[in-house]
Amino acid sequence: MWKLLRYMKAYKKESVCAPLFKLLEALFELFVPLVMAQIIDVGIADGDRPYIVRMCLLMAALGLIGLVCSITAQYFSAKAATGFAARLRHELFAHIQSLSFAEMDVNGTSTLITRMTSDINQVQSGVNLFLRLFMRSPFIVFGAMVMAFTIDAKAAMVFVVVIPVLCVIVFGIMLASIPLYRKVQERLDRVTGMTRENLQGVRVVRAFRREDQEIGTFNEGNDALVKIQVLSGRISALMNPLTYVVVNGGLLVLLYTGAVRVDGGIITQGAVVALVNYMSQILVELVKLANLIINVTKAIACGNRIGAVMEQKPGMASGKGEAATDHNQRTAGRLPAVAFDHVHFRYKGAGADSLTDIHFQVMPGETVGIIGGTGSGKSSLVSLIPRFYDVREGCVRVNGIDVRDYKLEEIRGKVGIVMQKAVLFAGTIRSNLLWGNEHATEEELREAIHAAQADEVVFGRDGGLDAVVEQEGRNFSGGQKQRLTIARALVRHPEILILDDSASALDFATDARLRRAIRELSGQMTVFIVSQRASTIQYADKILVLDDGEIVGMGRHEELLAGCAVYQETYYSQFPKEDA
């Protein structure tokens, strides 16, 4: 948590001014009981109305000055807390963007969303309260005790007993609350994850009539969250009643002691009223301090969770870049565009390799088809080319250079990839296509749209390229989204194009036209097509057949059909032998 305070550096002035103005407010507030004592002992006792009026005006002036100081302190603390939260949120988002897919998989989306929203809001609230009260409340408490000793030392001994007891109560509850609030946030992560999953898959839930079961699962998680919140709430709820009991007990003793000493002529009635006022101030400030500690406790728990993410080092370091490599080792056009050299790959936390001893080469301009059953490692293989993950053994080379030697933005600039799940962002069709190349001309956009067979999708709508795209492309069908994401990849004019089962929602005729258009594109673009359709990859220059993370067949369609049992099984399951 404390490491996060470096984001307060830009708000040093506000962080100093807020507590200082609060101290000024507290200072003026401490003089009020003394003025009240003077009104009672002098003005009322002597029947001096002008004196009473002057003292009342002085009290009003003290209150007005205190109000101005309080508003100023509120302004500075709010500015510092809001700015701190904005900088922290920005840095956290930037840090999350720097994490590799492996770290993202481990953390989970729901946890990261909770830390970006709920946790940072709680930290912001804690910082705001801390700047306003962390000096004011202790200053009032100990200041009131000192002022009480100036009035009457014996009566003030009540304060010496009451304040330590209150400190024990407050800090004891704080120490008990911190681990509980950490558990509250962890269980909130789980509830957020379940909510996100159900809202994203609401159509699947309803299609399989799983509403009751999902509601039951959610209720279990929610009940667990409620239980820990109730427990932490009960412990925190002890704060106010215990402090009230102690302070009111102290008031009773103080009134008794004051009455005895007034009766003996040792102190005046105004002094007793001042002592009671100081005790009341202590009560109010300790209640505020209790609320401050509860909020700061929550903020520390949330800050530690944010800090845990910020301390995660990206597991993928950027290389020195293509320009830093030895160009004498490479000959243009003669080295493979992509080469896998005995690659082994395993996901973080997995018990076994997802890819085992993958070894092949692809020359510039070749089209490679990758086919295999579900879970055979097709997507894992192509995700190693743009270095979304790092290999465990072996290496992946692009243009003769290990992908780990490239700068991350450099290697990914060479690759255009269309994921299995078509993802569009809120905006317009144009803004989505410009993700591929923000400097693309109108002609380049139209060329990519035509190659992706998306002319009807774009120009058949009102607005054309400027037609609205809703969040996640909700106003487009699955096939339309796939064609737009393919167009987005083509706008980049990549050296390597990866189509990861990205035509699964297209009909066979559109799929065939798409493959023909990609082949006709100019340049030496190397194309990887991942598919479970044999018809999609059968005309590729090279076909890789994967089974359980291993290459069990490599060659052209005719060769594999003659000698690869896995390819034969896949092909004949889609085409009868007579037709084949």
From CA 126, how far away is CA 130, in angstroms rounded? Answer: 6
Per the structure, how many domains does the chain have? 2
Does one domain contain both 135 and 219? yes
User: What would the mean pLDDT of 533-561 be, rounded to a whole number?
Assistant: 90
Q: What is the mean pLDDT of the chain?
A: 85
**509 domain residue, yes or no:** yes
**287 and 176 housed in the same domain:** yes
Q: Does residue 449 form part of some domain? A: no
With respect to residue 267, please indicate whether it lies within any of the assigned structural domains.
yes
143 with 285, same domain: the answer is yes
Q: Does the pLDDT of residue 76 top 70, yes or no?
A: yes
Segment 315-325, tens digit of pLDDT: 777 777 766 55
178 and 141 in a common domain: yes
Looking at the fold, whether 304 and 330 belong to one and the same domain comes out as no
Q: Distance between CA atoms of 468 and 462, rounded to whole angstroms?
A: 9
How many residues belong to the chain? 580
Any domain includes 95: yes
Give the 3-state secondary structure of residue 271: helix
In a domain, 34, yes or no: no
Q: 284, 310, 336 — which closes off a domain?
A: 310
pLDDT band at 120 (very low <50, low <70, confident <90, very high): very high
b/e per residue, 133-155, with b = 16+ CB within 10 A?
bbbbbebbbebbbebbeebbeeb
Q: pLDDT, tens digit, for every residue of 151-189?
A: 888 877 887 888 788 878 877 887 787 788 778 878 887
Q: Give the CATH number of the domain where residue 415 resides.
A: 3.40.50.300
Q: Are strands 355-362 and 526-530 parallel, antiparallel or unpaired?
A: unpaired
Provide the 10 A C-beta neighbour count for residue 355: 26
pLDDT of residue 579: 54
Residues 176 and 103 placed together within one structural domain of the fold:
yes
Q: Domain boundary at 310, 345, 364, which?
A: 310
Euclidean distance between CA atoms 1 and 20, whole angstroms: 24
pLDDT tens figures, 486-523: 999 999 888 999 998 887 778 788 888 888 888 877 56
Percent of the chain with pLDDT over 90: 22
Of 107-111, 136-140, 528-532, least confident by mean pLDDT is 107-111
Amino acid of residue 550 = E
pLDDT at 71 over 70: yes
Give the distance, in angstroms, between the CA of residue 384 and the centroid of all CA atoms in the same chain: 26
Lowest mean pLDDT among 116-125, 251-260, 386-395, 437-446: 251-260
Predicted confidence at residue 138, as pLDDT, reads: 82
**560 is in which domain, residue-wise?**
326-421+495-574
Q: How far is CA 243 from CA 174, 193, 236, 400, 494, in A?
A: 14, 39, 12, 73, 69
In this model, does residue 3 exceed pLDDT 90?
A: no
Amino acid at 371: I
Residue 382 near residue 500, CB atoms below 8 Å: yes
Average pLDDT of span 377-399: 91
Residue 269 lies inside a defined structural domain of this protein: yes
Q: How confident is the model at residue 334 (pLDDT cuts 50, 70, 90)?
A: low
End residue of a domain, out of 282, 310, 338? 310
> Is a pLDDT exceeding 50 seen at residue 330?
no
The tens digit of pLDDT for each residue in 392-446 reads 999 999 998 999 999 888 898 899 888 888 888 999 999 999 988 888 888 989 9
Question: Is residue 412 located within the same domain as residue 278?
Answer: no
Residue pair 520/513 in contact by the 8 Å Cβ criterion = no
Q: Which pLDDT value is given to residue 333?
A: 47
Domain match, 390 and 522 both? yes
Helix-then-strand count for the chain, H and E: 22, 12
pLDDT for residue 247 is more than 70:
yes
Say whether both 290 and 206 belong to one domain: yes
CATH code where residue 190 lies: 1.20.1560.10
pLDDT of residue 189: 78
pLDDT at 219: 93
Q: How confident is the model at residue 264 (pLDDT cuts 50, 70, 90)?
A: confident
Do 337 and 305 belong to one domain?
no
Three-class secondary structure of residue 192 per DSSP = helix
In this structure, are 505 and 403 located in the same domain? yes
Pairing between β-strand 415-418 and β-strand 526-530 as defined by DSSP bridges: unpaired
The residue among 8 and 314 whose pLDDT is bigger is 8
In a domain, 259, yes or no: yes
Binned at pLDDT 50, 70 and 90, residue 331 comes out as very low
Q: Is 378 domain-assigned?
A: yes
Same domain, 414 and 536: yes
Average pLDDT over residues 128-144: 85
